[in-house]
């Protein structure tokens, strides 16, 4: 992996949607290294084994809730060490509020999101939390 590129991890159990967003992010921002995980467990494994700058997280996963992963990645919501953005099918304000109060930097409903808006949110989230940087290894 090229340490100068921003590494974005898409955790989404919906394979077609995950591929769609990975493709659009690569087009919108060629400087991204986009990794993909189809389950929460696989996503957490990638966070343990690689440097991840931002996680795009679906709320509904085949093996666990995206909110469970969020709390695992950001145990202290007031001091997140990794940028997490919810990019989900769920258009439920209570879920959005819960995600944001638990450390997510943004919440997007897929049907109303664009790659450009998600790209801007990734940059803002990383700026707010701070990039992992070359000197940092895996998050967890």
pTM attached to this predicted model: 0.90
DSSP string, 66-113: HHHHHHHH-SSTTS-SSEEEEEES---HHHHHHHHHTT-SEEEEGGG-
Domain with residues 6-129, CATH architecture: 3-Layer(aba) Sandwich (3.40)
**Residue 26: φ, ψ to 5°:** -65, -35
Domain-by-domain residue ranges, the chain? Answer: 6-129
Query: Which residues contact residue 75 at a Cβ distance below 8 angstroms, ignoring those fewer than 6 apart?
Result: none
The set of residues, in sequence order, having a beta carbon less than 8 Å from that of 114 and lying 6+ positions away, is none
> Which residues, listed in sequence order, are joined to residue 65 by a DSSP beta bridge?
60
Residue 32 sits at φ, ψ, to 5 deg, of: -80, 145
The span from the first CA to the last CA of the chain, in angstroms, equals: 18
DSSP assignment letter at 136: -
Q: What are the pLDDT tens digits along the chain (140 aa)?
A: 456 789 999 999 999 999 999 999 999 888 899 999 999 999 999 999 999 999 999 999 999 999 999 999 998 888 888 999 999 999 999 999 999 999 999 999 999 999 889 999 999 999 999 765 444 456 55
């Amino acid at each position: 992996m090229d340490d100068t590129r921003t590494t974005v991890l898409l955790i989404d159990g919906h394979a077609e949607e995950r591929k769609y967003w990975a493709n659009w992010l690569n087009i919108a921002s060629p400087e991204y290294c986009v990794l993909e995980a189809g389950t929460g467990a696989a996503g957490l494994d990638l966070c343990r084994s690689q440097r991840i700058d931002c996680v795009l997280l679906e709320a509904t996963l085949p093996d666990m809730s995206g909110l469970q992963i969020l709390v695992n990645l950001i145990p202290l919501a007031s001091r997140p060490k990794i940028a997490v953005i919810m990019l989900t099918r769920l258009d439920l304000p209570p879920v959005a509020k819960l995600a944001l109060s638990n450390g997510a930097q943004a919440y997007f409903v897929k049907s109303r999101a664009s790659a450009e808006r998600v790209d801007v949110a990734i940059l803002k989230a990383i700026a707010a939390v701070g990039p992992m940087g070359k000197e940092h290894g895996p998050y967890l």
